[in-house]
Amino acid sequence: MIPEEIRNKYQAVIGLEVHAQMLTASKAYSDDVNEYGSAPNTNVSAITLGHPGTLPVMNKKTIEFAIKLGVACESHIHEEQHFARKNYFYPDLPKGYQITQDTTPICTGGQIYIKDDSGNEKKIGITRIHMEEDAGKSIHDVDVYDTLVDLNRAGVPLLEIVSEPDIRTSQEAYNYVSEVRKLVRYLDICDGNMEEGSLRCDANISVMLKDASEFGTKVEVKNMNSIRNVQKAIEFEIERQIITIENGESLAQETRSFDALKGITISMRTKEAANDYRYFPEPDLLPLVVKEDQINEVKKKMPSLPRDLFLKYTNELNLSEYDAGNLTENRDIALFYEELIKETSNYKSASNWVMGDVKSYLNKNGLEITDFPISAKTLAALIGIIEDGKVNNTIASQKIFPVLLENPSKDPLQIAEELNLIQESDAGSILTFIHEVIEQHPDEVSRYRGGEKQLIGFFMGQLMKASKGKADPKAANQLIRETLDK
């Protein structure tokens, strides 16, 4: 750790390059199956291998996905698309080149909204989004002697999202990758799974003195397999760079690799040794034209986006930012909530149910909301009978909800009636219970009357017990006070 006062002299500058594997059925330029976890080297045709005489064919879905992401980021979507070859040798790159977009990315400009370290909204500019293909995978840890190569991943379509150097802290970087992941999941174009490598992030990091007018020398860090590790790698790198500068040494522009076990970055190659990719136009693919019509078609089918829902929940439904953030964190949860509020206008109660009983049931059972047995309509009906004063929240949560989980087609009101759970809000029957409680606890009654008003909690507890939880708490609270204060 470097002393605070030294650290505080510097400002970090960060730009991220995120690669997202597209959830297409087939690969980017062939009909090989695009699937994670197949037996090694089973989804590999002659096209993927780049055998002489084979020709790539563009997968239309990837263009649609790129447009979707571009629309979501409010990027400029360009009409004319060219493809380029990026040439390099690597054992997991059978063609000897990668088909990518060099000078004509499909999208430029736009932004991703994140929260800064104080929780305020901040725009991170998008430099470009382009389409390309993944390489195969070199596996170093299965065979003791050799590196193994699995080419199933070769040719899987990718979108690369390059940010402007607008990010200033490791926490902002964490928030940025989280937002990108949330967005691609909402758009259903990538599963966002960093552990399986379907979402990957390279971080470009530099530091400069706070009053400097130019950015410092940047270092690119690779191989982080979780968002937390992106943050850790950046944190380490910022300190390393500050220490280097403070020691009077100069920083090399280089690519470094993150070692998650040690929590450090290690030099892989310097800029001087960097590959010259010799980009040139891909001769086997025709230029592609993205028409206004096609963009409008995609716009028509755009799903709700997390930020729009967040703004709707806070501005229109008057939920807190905490609730809105929680509900929109996961797309399917948000969609369930959307269904729920079509059936009930008690938005806050609906939010409490989703974030409370529903989520804890899912967590306890390791389930996703898509596996949740109770329909939004039935849950709304349960919220409705609480609102109508037929049962209280506790009864609904502890007695009716569990029955519904077992019998999701049952009607909540019917369950309440069958189990004799309908709340007593009728003053007469509540008073019977109150008198019972007062008779049984003469000491507490005199203490209450002597000024220990906090004993009201005790009486409410006793009353709930006597009424088996069926007394309407609001009516009961008032009646008990009136009776005791007499």
Member of 40, 50, 109, 165 binding ligand ADP (CB under 6 A): 165
Member of 153, 185, 218, 256 binding ligand ADP (CB under 6 A): 218
Q: How is 166-215 classified by DSSP, letter by letter?
A: -B-SHHHHHHHHHHHHHHHHHHTS----TTTTSEEEEEEEEEEETT-SS-
Binding segment (CB under 6 A) for ligand ADP, from list 148-156, 161-169, 401-409, 410-418: 161-169
Rule CB under 6 A: say whether 100 interacts with ligand ADP: no
Q: In the bound complex, what is the minimum distance in angstroms from residue 31's beta carbon to ligand ADP?
A: 32
Judged by CB, which is closer to ligand ADP: 18, or 376? 18
Can you list the alpha helix ranges (DSSP code H) found in 318-452?
Answer: 321-328, 331-343, 347-353, 359-365, 376-387, 393-395, 401-406, 412-418, 427-440, 442-449
Q: In the bound complex, what is the minimum distance in angstroms from residue 155's beta carbon to ligand ADP?
A: 23
Judged by CB, which is closer to ligand ADP: 97, or 337? 97
Judged by CB, which is closer to ligand ADP: 167, or 327? 167
Judged by CB, which is closer to ligand ADP: 13, or 129? 13
Residue 288, helix vs strand vs coil: strand
Judged by CB, which is closer to ligand ADP: 11, or 330? 11
Judged by CB, which is closer to ligand ADP: 207, or 374? 207
Member of 47, 71, 162, 233 binding ligand ADP (CB under 6 A): 162
Judged by CB, which is closer to ligand ADP: 195, or 214? 214
Rule CB under 6 A: say whether 50 interacts with ligand ADP: no
Tell me which residues in 195-214 interact with ligand ADP (CB under 6 A): 204-206
Is the separation of the CB atoms in 326 and 336 below 8 Å?
no
Rule CB under 6 A: say whether 231 interacts with ligand ADP: no
Rule CB under 6 A: say whether 179 interacts with ligand ADP: no
Helix (H) or strand (E) holding 313: helix 306-315
Is the separation of the CB atoms in 297 and 67 below 8 Å?
no
Tell me which residues in 12-31 interact with ligand ADP (CB under 6 A): 13-17
Say if strands 254-259 and 219-224 run parallel, antiparallel, or are unpaired.
parallel
Rule CB under 6 A: say whether 215 interacts with ligand ADP: yes
Q: How is 378-390 classified by DSSP, letter by letter?
A: HHHHHHHHHHTTS
Rule CB under 6 A: say whether 338 interacts with ligand ADP: no
Interatomic CA distance for residues 348 and 318, integer angstroms: 8
Q: In the bound complex, what is the minimum distance in angstroms from residue 13's beta carbon to ligand ADP?
A: 4
Judged by CB, which is closer to ligand ADP: 165, or 473? 165
Rule CB under 6 A: say whether 163 interacts with ligand ADP: yes
Long-range residue pairs from 329-337, CB within 8 A, at least 24 positions apart, any chain: 329/182, 330/185, 330/369, 331/182, 331/185, 331/186, 331/303, 331/306, 332/368, 332/369, 332/370, 333/359, 333/369, 334/304, 334/306, 334/309, 335/304, 336/369, 336/372, 336/376
Residues binding ligand ADP (CB under 6 A): 13-17, 162-165, 204-206, 215, 218
